[in-house]
């Protein structure tokens, strides 16, 4: 079965994209062009592509969080725009640092416009996110801006840790989970609560939604890391066994290395080989991750995190249709064929 | 005569540095180390250098602007910290883009810690600047944060234009002045008004101070561009005729090219030569800039901007000793031997 994109996500895209474009159009022309290319609505010559941009997962969560507080999705739009801007700031900069040449089946911005333009476009989106919230001028916008800057700081700390792990042989599972919490879960937790904050929801509601988002974010990253090894290339857009090729210290790999099983030692030996890994080595490494229990741990942990996320949701008082849409998104983003 | 560093600048450094260090210490350890190195108080191994960081020009202006509004300098500290963080965010990223390997007589952060760490350290300082202001929680802090993010957006637009100019042959003097207004003057205008905003000064006072800062910022950049060609290496820390070596489209060069004089044509021919310029070529180019009136225009324009800045100051009602300190800083930063 193929998971279908939740309606809340497509609705969010329709509602948020025009506001996002209006915001990006305010930037200096070159920044607006680089950002428009990165976001998918311009080609490399600045001509409209007719496409509407990314999946709008974070905007959808932000709009739902406004609705959870009894508001209309429309009132959550500035929050949705701001989280999407921060998310794309991080993608623009991460693609440079990771040397990634392709995203969403297109050449990454830095390969088209140069590193400097991609750095500056990221900087301008980060600044724009703050501007969009502060322009609202309400007490709720103030709390939303604080939530977003705290999440941004954790996102940066997570990316820093991720890069540090590349040079280390002794990454613990705890460190790896903390890294994923910072790099992925913090902005999802913010996305799930920022709309509520913007519309001045009681702190208890916003905190509950943030808890839901934090668990969801971890579950999301755990599944992402499973797909990084065992995902079908036609779904992930990446080669088979992708994260083993790059010897990434992803959660299944670190869990397997930490298990102390015979397969852990074999995996360590393979990953530390100086020469490039052959296809046979890669398959052996995948078998070793599985044999050391790395795959099972990640599958079980993602199920635990999803269950914890759902438990959070059920403890929050919100309109039932909003809860159902949150649940739908949670199950969609943690499914293997999202 | 050698211009002496105004007392307000050294006082600001003493008052702001501890708060700046406390702020930077909150970052993820690696970010705090990269930022501490860039700011001068750590060496490349993370050991204290005993040095106190940069000149604290922007913090000094921010503290004076709080005092102009009748407040103590202490109350302006968060504003001073925030502008200094944004200034250093931009230096960290600009050094990468410009490929500069040395700053303040030390290797730049990206050459020591790598490009990725320098990008992330810049990102974290930019985010920290917002956090520091928003944590104040007052209406004044809200206006200060808006002022700072607007200035940051202009700073990014200015750097974008500066990089674009490298690939263009037809930069007009107007475009070059706009670029300098964005890249340099916007953050100085913000520095001169953000302390007043933070302490809830009347908008008219803050606007007057911003006008002073905008003129001062342009005068500062004009003098900087003079020093980039005719500055003494022992003062600038750069080789003689530095900006001509890199064929930078600085204000004297663009003014000379735009003059339509016989020397303009000779300058254009020299700057467009495909091969590296010899020492003789460089001296000839400097003579051509002067012959086409580029040097005179910049000297006169910087004097006009300084006069306009002083005129702004005199139209603002503020304690006289504060006005005197503003004037002292203005004359210092626009002197040839600052």
pLDDT at B1: 42
In sequence order, what are the beta bridge partners of B108? none
Asked if pLDDT for residue B2 goes beyond 70, the answer is no
Q: Within a domain: residue B2?
A: no
Q: Within a domain: residue B297?
A: yes
Q: Within a domain: residue B1?
A: no
Q: What ranges make up the beta strands (E) of A143-280?
A: none
- Taking the CA atoms of residue B188, residue B189, residue B192 and residue B197 in that order, the dihedral angle to the nearest 10 degrees is -130
Distance CA A89, CA B248 (A): 29
CATH number at residue B49: 1.10.600.10
Which of B96, B119, B131 lies closest to A153 in CB terms? B131
Residues 6+ apart with CB under 8 A from B47: none
Residues A117, B159: C-beta atoms closer than 8 Å:
no
pLDDT at B284: 96
- Taking the CA atoms of residue A38, residue A41, residue A45 and residue A46 in that order, the dihedral angle to the nearest 10 degrees is -100
Q: Please check whether residue A190 is in contact with residue A213, taking contact to mean a CB–CB distance below 8 angstroms.
A: yes
Q: Considering only CA atoms, which of B222, B331, B58, B254 is closest in space to residue B231?
A: B222
Give me the domain span that covers residue A11. 7-333
Distance CA A90, CA A84 (A): 10
**pLDDT digits 0-9 by tens, A226-245:** 999 999 888 777 778 989 99
Residues A160, B120: C-beta atoms closer than 8 Å:
yes
Q: What angle do CA A173, A218, B23 make, to 5 degrees?
A: 80
Weakest mean pLDDT among A45-59, B32-46, B245-259: A45-59
Half-sphere exposure of A320 (CA within 13 A, CB side): 0
Q: Please check whether residue A196 is in contact with residue A209, taking contact to mean a CB–CB distance below 8 angstroms.
A: yes
Q: What is residue B107's three-state secondary structure? A: strand
Q: Is A100 on the interface with B (CB under 8 A)?
A: no
**pLDDT digits 0-9 by tens, B84-142:** 999 999 999 999 999 999 998 899 999 999 999 999 999 999 999 999 999 999 999 99
Average pLDDT over chain A reads 95
Asked if pLDDT for residue A48 goes beyond 70, the answer is yes
pLDDT tier at A170, thresholds 50, 70, 90: confident
Chain A: closest CA distance from residue B205 (Å): 21
pLDDT at B225: 96
Q: How far is CA B6 from CA B3, B52, B55, B60, in A?
A: 9, 17, 10, 9
pLDDT at A165: 93
Q: Is A161 on the interface with B (CB under 8 A)?
A: yes
How many domains is chain A partitioned into structurally? 1
Which of A93, A131, A164 lies closest to B149 in CB terms? A131
Distance CA A302, CA A222 (A): 6
Q: Is B266 on the interface with A (CB under 8 A)?
A: no
Which of B141, B153, B162, B186 would you mutate first to test chain A, the one with the most A CBs within 10 A?
B153
Q: What is residue A283's three-state secondary structure? A: helix
Distance CA A249, CA A228 (A): 11
pLDDT tier at B338, thresholds 50, 70, 90: low
Asked if pLDDT for residue B298 goes beyond 90, the answer is yes
**pLDDT digits 0-9 by tens, B73-86:** 999 999 999 999 99
Which of B96, B97, B120 lies closest to A156 in CB terms? B120
Q: Within a domain: residue A338?
A: no
Which of A27, A117, A145 lies closest to B134 in CB terms? A145
Q: Please check whether residue A111 is in contact with residue A234, taking contact to mean a CB–CB distance below 8 angstroms.
A: no
Instruction: Say how many C-beta atoms besides its own lie within 10 A of residue B276's C-beta.
Output: 7
Threshold 0.90, pTM exceeds: yes
Q: Within a domain: residue B108?
A: yes
**pLDDT digits 0-9 by tens, A89-123:** 999 999 999 999 999 889 999 999 999 999 999 99
Distance CA A261, CA A290 (A): 11
Q: Read off the pLDDT of each residue in A57-76 and give the average, rounded to a whole number.
A: 98
Give B296-304's long-range contacts (Cβ < 8 A, gap of 24+): B297/B252, B297/B255, B297/B259, B298/B222, B298/B225, B298/B226, B298/B251, B298/B252, B298/B255, B299/B226, B301/B218, B301/B222, B301/B251, B302/B218, B302/B219, B302/B222, B302/B223, B302/B226, B302/B334, B303/B219
Residue B33 backbone dihedrals phi, psi, to 5 degrees? -75, -45
Distance CA B83, CA A13 (A): 36
pLDDT at A338: 64
**pLDDT digits 0-9 by tens, A290-326:** 999 999 999 999 999 999 999 999 999 999 999 999 9
Q: Please check whether residue A271 is in contact with residue A229, taking contact to mean a CB–CB distance below 8 angstroms.
A: no
pLDDT at A54: 75
Distance CA B159, CA B161 (A): 5
Asked if pLDDT for residue A2 goes beyond 70, the answer is no
Q: What is the 3-state composition of chain A as percent helix, strand, coil, each rounded to the nearest 5?
A: 75, 0, 25
Residues 6+ apart with CB under 8 A from A325: A6, A7, A8, A64
Q: Is A149 on the interface with B (CB under 8 A)?
A: yes
Q: DSSP states of B216-246 as a string? A: HHHHHHHHHHHHHHH--HHHHSS-TTHHHHT
Q: How far is CA A228 from CA A168, A222, A234, A237, A239, in A?
A: 20, 10, 12, 10, 9
Residues 115-134 of A with CB under 8 A from B: 115-117, 119-120, 122-124, 126-128, 130-131, 134
pLDDT at A4: 81
Residue A247 backbone dihedrals phi, psi, to 5 degrees? 55, 35
Which of B28, B157, B163 lies closest to A116 in CB terms? B163
Weakest mean pLDDT among A118-127, A181-190, A203-212, A274-283: A274-283
Average pLDDT over chain B reads 95
Residues composing chain A: 338
Q: What is residue A102's three-state secondary structure? A: strand
Q: Is A221 on the interface with B (CB under 8 A)?
A: no
pLDDT at B203: 95
pLDDT at A1: 42
Q: How far is CA A137 from CA A92, A132, A142, A324, in A?
A: 28, 10, 7, 31
Q: Is B139 on the interface with A (CB under 8 A)?
A: no
Token couple for A49: 């592509």
Q: Within a domain: residue B338?
A: no
Q: Within a domain: residue A21?
A: yes
- Taking the CA atoms of residue A288, residue A291, residue A294 and residue A296 in that order, the dihedral angle to the nearest 10 degrees is 150
> ipTM of this predicted complex?
0.95
Asked if pLDDT for residue A64 goes beyond 50, the answer is yes
Q: Within a domain: residue B325?
A: yes
Which of A30, A156, A160 lies closest to B127 in CB terms? A156
Residues B96, A115: C-beta atoms closer than 8 Å:
yes
Q: Please check whether residue A33 is in contact with residue A119, taking contact to mean a CB–CB distance below 8 angstroms.
A: no
Distance CA B180, CA B161 (A): 9
What share of chain B in percent tops pLDDT 90?
Answer: 87
**pLDDT digits 0-9 by tens, B178-196:** 999 999 999 999 999 999 9
Q: Is B146 on the interface with A (CB under 8 A)?
A: yes
pLDDT at B179: 98
**pLDDT digits 0-9 by tens, B215-266:** 999 999 999 999 999 998 887 777 789 899 989 999 999 999 999 999 999 9
């Amino acid at each position: 079965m193929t998971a279908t994109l939740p309606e809340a996500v497509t609705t969010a895209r329709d509602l948020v994209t025009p506001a996002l474009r209006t915001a990006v159009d305010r930037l200096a022309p070159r920044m607006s062009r680089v950002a428009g290319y990165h976001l998918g609505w311009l080609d490399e010559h600045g001509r409209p592509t007719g496409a509407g941009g990314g999946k709008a997962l974070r905007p959808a969560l932000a709009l739902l969080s406004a609705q959870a507080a009894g508001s209309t999705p429309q009132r959550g739009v500035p929050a949705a725009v701001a989280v999407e801007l921060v998310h794309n700031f991080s993608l623009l900069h991460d693609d440079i640092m990771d040397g990634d040449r392709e995203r969403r089946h297109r050449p990454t911005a830095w390969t088209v416009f140069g590193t400097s333009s991609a750095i500056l476009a990221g900087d301008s989106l980060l600044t724009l996110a703050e501007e969009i919230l502060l322009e609202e001028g309400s007490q709720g916008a103030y709390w939303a801006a604080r939530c977003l800057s705290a999440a941004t700081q954790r996102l940066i700390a997570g990316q820093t840790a991720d890069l540090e792990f590349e040079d280390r042989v002794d990454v613990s599972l705890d460190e790896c989970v903390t890294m994923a919490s910072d790099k992925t879960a913090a902005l999802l937790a913010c996305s799930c609560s920022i709309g509520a904050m913007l519309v001045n929801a009681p702190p208890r509601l916003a905190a509950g939604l943030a808890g839901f988002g934090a668990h969801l974010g971890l579950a999301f990253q755990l599944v992402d890391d499973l797909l990084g090894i065992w995902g079908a290339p036609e779904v992930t857009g990446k080669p088979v066994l992708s994260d083993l090729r790059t010897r990434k210290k992803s959660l299944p790999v670190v869990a397997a290395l930490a298990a102390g099983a015979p397969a852990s030692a074999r995996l360590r030996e393979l990953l530390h080989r100086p020469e490039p890994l052959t296809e046979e080595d890669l398959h052996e490494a995948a078998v070793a991750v599985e044999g050391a229990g790395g795959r099972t741990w990640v599958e079980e942990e993602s199920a635990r995190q999803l269950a914890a996320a759902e438990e959070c949701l059920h403890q929050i008082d919100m309109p039932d249709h909003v809860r159902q849409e949150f649940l739908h998104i949670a199950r969609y983003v943690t499914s293997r064929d999202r």
